[in-house]
């Protein structure tokens, strides 16, 4: 399903996002929290290319983020894979079909929900301090960050995932032409 150059391009998008997150965004602290570009990766990938790609992108984006965290390795990979899948599946459901048209606000909302899922899972596996007033500041920063950076990531995913034939809104991507027709024929 996924051709080699696609993997490489996707890895480039993830690596550049990680670099930007660690060098720039961690310094942008508002109300004690900072924007989180890594959670926006699976959300935007899920919206652009569907549940399966969203989950795979989420897994690798989370694993990359885990490299630089002191939380248990694999925690972000687990949560991001779930988030990417969930967003992709929701977009493809009749209920979420209009999300593509509201994909920017959907990215913001999806990223905030993803952050909440992270807090819940972290809390379940015994990571203390996941729920506090600080979480509200985190939601604010993550939501605003998603609104700002999702358009850039949509462009990035259109470039990286253009050859993927899958469900989701790949067909609406300018570079993928009539992928939906291909997949349904």
Partner 1 sequence: MAIARGSNQRLTLLILLLISITVVTLDYHGAVARGIGHIRNAAVDVLSPFQRATSAVLHPIGDVFAGAVHYGQLETQNAQLRAQIGTLERRSAQQNFSLAASKQIESLSHLPFLNVPTVAGEVISPAASNFEQTIQINLGTSNGVGPGMPVVGPSGLVGTILSSSGSQSIVELAIDARFGVGVLLGPTYFQAQGTGNGLSLHQIQSKSKVPFVGQVAVTSGQDNGAYPPGIPVGRVTSVKKSATGQLESIKVSSSVNFTLLQYISVMQWLPPA
The binding site for partner 1 (CB under 8 A) comprises: 19, 21-24, 26-27, 29, 32-34, 36, 50-52, 55-56, 58-59, 62, 65, 67-75, 77-78, 81-82, 85, 89, 115, 118-119, 122, 125, 127-130, 132-134, 137-138, 141-142, 167
Contacts of 91 (CB under 8 A, 6+ apart): 46, 47, 50, 97, 99, 100, 106, 168, 169
Q: What is the smallest separation between the CB atom of 146 and partner 1, expressed in angstroms? A: 13
- HSE, side-chain direction, 13 A CA sphere, residue 173: 30
Structure tokens at 126: 């015994």
Q: What is the smallest separation between the CB atom of 79 and partner 1, expressed in angstroms? A: 8
**Pair 28, 35: CB distance under 8 Å:** yes
Output 137 or 152, the one with its CB closest to partner 1: 137
Q: What is the smallest separation between the CB atom of 74 and partner 1, expressed in angstroms? A: 3
Helix or strand run (H / E) with residue 57: helix 51-66
Q: What is the smallest separation between the CB atom of 128 and partner 1, expressed in angstroms? A: 4
Output 61 or 150, the one with its CB closest to partner 1: 61
**Pair 137, 33: CB distance under 8 Å:** yes
**Terminal-to-terminal C-alpha distance of the chain:** 16
Output 1 or 102, the one with its CB closest to partner 1: 1
Structure tokens at 58: 């989420």
Q: What is the smallest separation between the CB atom of 21 and partner 1, expressed in angstroms? A: 8
Output 33 or 41, the one with its CB closest to partner 1: 33
């Amino acid at each position: 399903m996924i051709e080699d150059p696609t993997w490489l391009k996707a890895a480039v998008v993830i690596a550049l996002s990680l670099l930007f997150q660690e060098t720039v965004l961690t310094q942008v602290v508002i109300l004690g929290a900072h924007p989180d570009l890594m959670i926006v990766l699976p959300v935007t990938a899920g919206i652009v290319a569907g549940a399966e790609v969203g989950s795979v992108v989420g897994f690798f984006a989370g694993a990359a983020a885990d490299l630089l965290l002191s939380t248990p390795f694999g925690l972000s990979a687990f949560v991001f894979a779930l988030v990417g899948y969930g967003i992709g599946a929701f977009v493809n459901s009749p209920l979420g079909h209009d999300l593509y048209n509201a994909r920017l606000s959907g990215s913001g909302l999806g990223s905030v929900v993803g952050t909440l899922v992270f807090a819940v899972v972290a809390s379940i596996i015994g990571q203390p301090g996941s729920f506090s007033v600080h979480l509200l500041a985190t939601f604010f920063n993550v939501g605003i960050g998603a609104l700002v950076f999702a358009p850039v990531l949509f462009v990035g995913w259109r470039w990286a995932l253009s050859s993927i034939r899958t469900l989701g809104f790949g067909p609406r991507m300018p570079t993928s032409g009539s992928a939906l027709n291909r997949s349904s024929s």
